[in-house]
Homo-oligomer: A and B are copies of this chain.
Amino acid sequence: MCVWGAGGGCQRTGKGKWTHVCVRVSSCPRSTAEEAQSKKGLKKQQKEAEKAAKKAEKQAKLAAEQQGTEEDDFAKDQYGNSVMVQSQQKLDRELIRIQDLTPEKAGKLIWLRARVHTSRAKGKQCFLVLRQQQFNVQALVAVGDRASKQMVKFAANISKESIVDVEAVVKKVEQKIESCTQQDVEVHVEKIFVISQAEARLPLQLEDASRPEGEGDEDGRATVNQDTRLDNRVIDLRTTTSQAIFRLQSGVCMLFRETLTNKGFVEIQTPKIISAASEGGANVFTVSYFKTSAYLAQSPQLYKQMCICADFDKVFCVGPVFRAEDSNTHRHLTEFVGLDIEMAFNYHYHEVIDSITDTMVQIFKGLRDRFQTEIQMVNKQYPSEPFKFLEPTLRLEYTEGVAMLRQAGVEMGDEDDLSTPNEKLLGRLVKEKYDTDFYVLDKYPLSVRPFYTMPDPNNPKYSNSYDMFMRGEEILSGAQRIHDAQLLTERAVHHEIDLEKIKGYIDSFRFGAPPHGGGGIGLERVCMLYLGLHNIRQTSMFPRDPKRLTP
């Protein structure tokens, strides 16, 4: 006999059937066993749990034997803790999706599996809200023909976030249920079994985590801070907002690849463990590699370019990039997802800019048209203006940007880099003047760009390089790259880079290389800025920063 959990004495009876032994949830030993968390504590906890399990087993046996003498419960087979689903059998039972519960289903007897979102007992009735991802429906367990008072009590005691299987009749309701996504129906429960029981004490409440920004402060209601969310990400990710954010993120990747594949780009996979830090060795993580050491790639730059030199013509890749920067800001991560593009062009790097901006526009349009539900969901908790963009994309020269900033009172030299506040200010000025949240700033000063950036042919102080901005924050940095080994060597020497360390990189261009350019986009930034969010940790499922390595 396999006793499965600390949650009570539920068990598999060995009859090869789903059977259920009812054990009151309030007797669950889990909720108090949480404190001991040291190694010793865990082992102790483990032993105790084993003891408890054995005890529960005995009790269950006893309960089974004494069943006949217990208070009569006509519904006793209609509820309880289910045995752990261990693939005992292939059940031919359809489980319905909550979003499909519409008035057309009224009168039907259905099964569904869902989480207990909230639960409220009220006399002889228990109202549950059952949730699947972003969808939820009201469920009623009421003493009557189909449910005993024991069953209602059982239902009322199911801990929030537990997963249950419910058999129920769909009923049309007269008054819309405002608090649920399924407003026109509720389900009347005839059977309810707990499939997976949540601990009674949750580290955070979903309703607190879902509260619109600012609302908590005003009403004195609880909100959940960023660290609590991240420490308990498995629960935080269940909120409607998180579900929407990461579905939209999945969409950004899909649209990025879809657009580029249609343009004839080939997807490549580039190594993350590299032998030398390509850009001089700052901000790079070191890895122990057998008897030597290696580094984590700060970008797929070198490998994308090698693919161009290897005739792949147009390539993209989606993968992690690593930055050992001790930056604790709202927009820096030590590991993020890079959406990288590199392509050969014919005559002018604006061909590359056009490809990238068109890709971004296709992403924006795809999100607007295919992920409107998700955008609305996020907006409910974090309101923001809809994202605006122009077609064709606005392209300004760096000098124009500097002129706009000077007109607004900023003092800066022609060749100074843009500070973060000035980037944001410029974003606001551009929005005012051109009504767009997305634009390209072209022809950066050569001195503020990496050594492999192609100088402007007409003005040696500038370069064929560009950044792209969303709501005033940089999301892409790119350029025409130097495709000539000799000029590349000159520029590396000028930047005082150890030529020996980048020999492999430079040698890639010795056997014929087409003119080419590209750029790298930060996925998390695109999602954050598109949605008008204010912290990149909201758009990274398991963010990494100098202070966070877990979960």
Interface residues of A (CB under 8 A from B): 2, 4-7, 12, 30, 37-39, 42-43, 45-46, 49-50, 53, 84-91, 93, 95, 113, 115, 132-133, 161-163, 195-199, 202, 233-238, 242-243, 246-247, 249-250, 253-254, 257, 261, 266-275, 285-290, 292, 294, 296, 302-303, 306-307, 309-313, 318-320, 322, 324, 326, 334-335, 337, 346-350, 454-457, 464, 480, 483-487, 489-490, 493, 498-500, 503-504, 508, 510-515, 523, 540-544, 546, 549-551
Contact = CB atoms under 8 A, between A and B. Distances in A.
Contacts of A46: 489-490, 493, 499
19 contacts: A4-B487, A7-B486, A30-B510, A42-B499, A43-B493, A45-B489, A46-B499, A115-B311, A196-B484, A234-B508, A235-B511, A237-B311, A238-B310, A242-B310, A246-B266, A250-B267, A271-B335, A306-B542, A306-B551
Contacts of A247: 266
Q: How many copies does the complex hold?
A: 2
A68 to B, nearest CB: 28
A249 B269 contact: yes
Contacts of A269: 249, 253, 320, 337, 523, 540-541
A169 to B, nearest CB: 21
A456 B42 CA distance: 26
Contact of A541 (B235, B268, B350, B523): B268
Most chain B C-beta atoms within 10 Å of own C-beta, residue among A246, A464, A511, A515: A511
A487 B326 CA distance: 40
A549 B273 contact: yes
A519 to B, nearest CB: 15
Nearest to A540: B269
A354 B315 CA distance: 33
B504 A273 contact: no
A45 B541 CA distance: 49
B285 A287 contact: yes
B271 A544 contact: yes
A305 to B, nearest CB: 9
B512 A163 contact: yes
Contacts of A454: 86-87
Nearest to A524: B269
